[in-house]
Structure 1
Amino acid sequence: MLLIERVLGSRLDPAISAKLHELEHQGLVDEVNLATADLARRRMRVTSRAGRDVAIQLSRAEHLFDGAVLHLDAEGAILVRVAEERWLRLTPRSIADAVALGYHAGNLHWRVRFEGEALLVGLEAPVDDYLERLGDLVTERRVIPAVVASAEAA
Structure 2
Amino acid sequence: MLKIDHIIGSASDATLHDRIHDLAHAHAVDFLVLPRQDLSRRRFRSSTEGGRDIAISLSRDQQLFDGAVLVLDRSNALVVKVEAEDWLRLTPRDRSAALQVGFHAGNLHWRVRFDGDDLLVAVEREPESYTDRIDALIEEGLVKARFEKGGANG
Fold agreement, TM-score > 0.5: yes
Mapped partners of 2:151, 2:15: distance in 1 = 33
Q: Gapped runs of 5+ residues in structure 2? A: 87-114, 117-148
How far is 1:74 from its partner?
Answer: 0.8
Mapped partners of 2:60, 2:42: distance in 1 = 7
Cα deviation, 1:39-58, whole Å, max 9, x if unaligned, reads 00000111011111111000
Q: Write the letter of the residue equivalent to 1:6.
A: H
| Structure 1: 4+ residue segments shifted above 4 A | none
Mapped partners of 1:2, 1:70: distance in 2 = 11
Q: Write the letter of the residue equivalent to 1:74.
A: R
Per the normalisation by structure 2, the TM-score is 0.56
Task: Name 1:36's counterpart in structure 2.
Answer: 36
1:15-26 alignment, distance < 5 Å? 15-26=15-26
Structure exhibiting the larger radius of gyration computed from Cα positions: 2
Task: Name 1:153's counterpart in structure 2.
Answer: 153
Task: Name 1:112's counterpart in structure 2.
Answer: none
How far is 1:151 from its partner?
Answer: 2.5
Task: Name 2:79's counterpart in structure 1.
Answer: 79
Percentage of pairs with the same residue: 43
How far is 1:75 from its partner?
Answer: 1.6
Cα deviation, 1:89-120, whole Å, max 9, x if unaligned, reads xxxxxxxxxxxxxxxxxxxxxxxxxx99xxxx
Q: Gapped runs of 5+ residues in structure 1? A: 87-114, 117-148
1:1-16 alignment, distance < 5 Å? 1-16=1-16
Cα deviation, 1:33-92, whole Å, max 9, x if unaligned, reads 101110000001110111111110000100101111000001200010111259xxxxxx
Give the superposed CA RMSD.
Answer: 2.3
**Number of equivalent positions:** 94
